[in-house]
Amino acid sequence: MRPSLLLLALAVAGPAGAATLAIGQVQGSGPRSPLEGQAVSVAGTVSADFREGLGGLYIQDAGDGDPATSDGLFVQAADGFEFPAGLAAGARCRFHGRVAELEGRGGDSLTALRVDRIDRCRPGTPVPVQAIAALPDDWESLEGMAVRVDAPLTVTGTDAVQRFGELAVSFDGRQWQPSELARPGSAEHAALAARNARQRLLLDDGSAQRDPAQVAWLDGGEVPRTGSVVRGAEGIVDQRHGGWRLQLTAPPRIEAAERPEPPQVPGNVRVAAFNLENLFNGDGRGGGFPTARGARTPQALDAQLAKLVATIEALDPDVAALMELENDGYGEDSSIAALVRALDPDGGRWRFVNTGHGPGPDAIRVGLLYRADRLVARGKPAVLEGGPFGERSRVPLAQAFRRKGGGGEFVVVANHFKSKGCSEAEGADADQKDGQACWNALRLDSAQRLHAWLQSAPLGRGRERVILLGDFNAYGMEDPVRWLREEGGWADAFAAAGVADPDAAGPYSYVYQGLSGRLDHALLSPALVPHLRGAAEWHVNADEPGDAGYAGRNVPGPWRSSDHDPLLLGFDL
């Protein structure tokens, strides 16, 4: 016996207690221990020491011969007891304490032993790591055990990496928002949600620390893009905070997903839509920072504008519908004017549509930019104010255009419906627990009023080729977008272009809590559909980790210029 373990054994040894049980007897075959609340003794080898991060360690024994029971166990110190300083991974000891269930969110429970005595410590051999070739039928039988996942795991979400050290992965590729594919509240919707939960795993850093200075498993590398593949993830199977996770004991091998080239669509008119994620420019003269939203300093604004310009230039649209512009007028100091100057310092190409006011009282608004060397704005713009359009859904903006050199007119309508956040939501606008979150009733009302307004020809009769673009804050099968398609007769541009199959890696424009879907849509009037030649999204943002943006690492180029992906349509007009 090494001297450190000999001293440890002498320091914590005590009188012999009850018979030593196999860890599998303590774990049992169900979600909770059959011995919960009872005093027991177990012998095992320390497989991982997470005392600093999780307040305990994991032990594992040779097994009880029952594949339905786990051979690993989380061990915490009981009140008044301190783990000996010499205890470390590889030590084999006997642990005495009381069985407890550590309750988590969503009704999950982690079986643990709260120890008050440790004895018979000696050097041990490393715990054997169990290889997992496919999604297990039951994680419960592996709870607390050391495993290596040999099956490829697809990164589905990175939003919690820097906050909690958690990386969301899946055993079956990208995970989709159920309401992107199925009608909310339906049996199919419920089945998709259950399948997502079943396939999902979190790769964790063995710590409960918030905003860690370094994420250990990254090993100095960068947070991967969604769609990257993780291989050989090794750690301890753990259940806490609402789901199954692997507390990593070594950095996994990550095969980074490639960043996509700018999309190419055929046609002689290119139309884009892009949520700018709060373009605010202070007072427009270098002061007024920090603003209520967006960049916090003039330098951060410069970095934000550089990313937005890189995105728009690479898309090369003739006209672009924009969301989340600061609602600060149209003068020289406005945010939209600042964006146009950044795009076109010489002033020979880009123009913005000026409604003369607002539109709307909200802090943000929609906007329209167009290439004056390619298009002519026809007539005055129109806006739809009142009802839900104001401080909830942003005021829609419509403008007619025509190609220089000939061609019929077409109308672009920029939209931004109310978000899913639940602040102030009540009654029909509260979360109905059907997968559409809050303010769905208001978004549906917005869609219906928008349709009725456009049927009234606000830009004049004869302008039947219309594109609805923007952030509708509703996934593909949710009520507002589905109503526009099924009741209003508007055509999904991506379906019309033949790229609507999510299994073909598209379309999606937003990743939220590891689930991909479309909040941003392009809907066409029947008269415009025959002119559509192509539709694409450029995944420069949704798949990128948040720290790639201007407020973080500021990766050069368009990467993470926003949290939404832009879309691009091609027409022959």
User: What is the DSSP annotation of 26-90?
Assistant: HH-SSSS-TTTT-EEEEEEEEEEEEHHHHSEEEEE-S--S-TTS-SEEEEEEPTT----TT--TT
Tell me the two tokens of residue 519. 């909040």
Burial of 395 (0-12, 13-18, 19+ CB in 10 A): buried
- What is the reported pLDDT for 500? 52
Write down the pLDDT at residue 180. Answer: 96
Q: 243-248 and 200-204 as β-strands: parallel, antiparallel, unpaired?
A: parallel
Which residue numbers in the chain have pLDDT < 50? 1-17, 501-503
Contacts of 139 by beta carbon, 8 Å cutoff, 6+ apart: 237, 239, 244
* Helix ranges (DSSP H) in 156-186: 161-164, 178-181
Eight-class DSSP state of 176: B
How many CA atoms lie within 13 Å of 457's alpha carbon, on the beta-carbon side? Answer: 6
Q: How much is the pLDDT for 4? A: 42
The single-letter code of the amino acid at 448 is Q
What DSSP designation does 128 have? P
Helices (H), 161-297: 161-164, 178-181, 187-199
Q: What is the pLDDT of residue 558?
A: 98
> What gap in Å lies between CA 320 and CA 336, rounded to an integer?
12
In terms of C-beta distances under 8 Å and separation of at least 24 residues, what long-range contacts does 32-36 make, across chains too?
Answer: 32/101, 32/109, 32/111, 33/99, 33/101, 33/111, 35/99, 36/99, 36/100, 36/101, 36/111
- pLDDT at position 505: 54
Mapping DSSP onto H, E and C, the string for 385-439 reads CECCECCCEEEEEEEEEEECCCCCCEEEEEEECCCCCCCCCCHHHCCCCCCCCCC
* Listed residue (316, 300, 266, 280) closest to 538, CA to CA: 316
Q: How much is the pLDDT for 506?
A: 63
Q: Please tell me the distance from the alpha carbon of residue 322 to that of residue 308, in angstroms, as a whole number.
A: 11
Contacts of 456 (CB under 8 A, 6+ apart): none
Q: What is the pTM of this model?
A: 0.93
Are 144 and 237 spatial neighbours (Cβ–Cβ below 8 Å)?
Answer: yes
Tokens of 245: 């996770």
**Alpha carbon distances (Å) from 250 to 92, 209, 457:** 21, 18, 62
Q: Distance between CA atoms of 2 and 18, rounded to whole angstroms? A: 27
* Residue 138, both tokens: 């039951």
**Pairing state between β 39-50 and 91-103:** antiparallel
pLDDT digit string (tens) for 63-90?
999 999 999 999 999 999 999 878 999 9
Q: Which tokens sit at 79?
A: 């009140």
Taken in order of first residue, the domains within the chain and their CATH numbers are 3-123 (2.40.50.200), 130-255 (2.40.50), 269-385+393-417+466-481+490-564 (3.60.10.10)
Q: What is the pLDDT of residue 6?
A: 36
Number of H helices and number of E strands within the chain? 11, 29
List of residues 6+ apart from 457 with CB closer than 8 A: 463
Contacts of 465 (CB under 8 A, 6+ apart): 408, 409, 410, 411, 525, 527, 528, 531, 573
Between the two ends of the chain, the Cα-to-Cα distance in Å is: 84
Both tokens assigned to 508: 């999606």
Q: How far is CA 95 from the centre of its chain?
A: 41
Alpha helices in 182-250 (DSSP H): 187-199
**Strands 146-149, 130-132: pairing kind:** parallel
Please name the residues in contact with 276: beta carbons below 8 A apart, sequence gap of 6 or more: 308, 322, 323, 324, 325, 339, 562
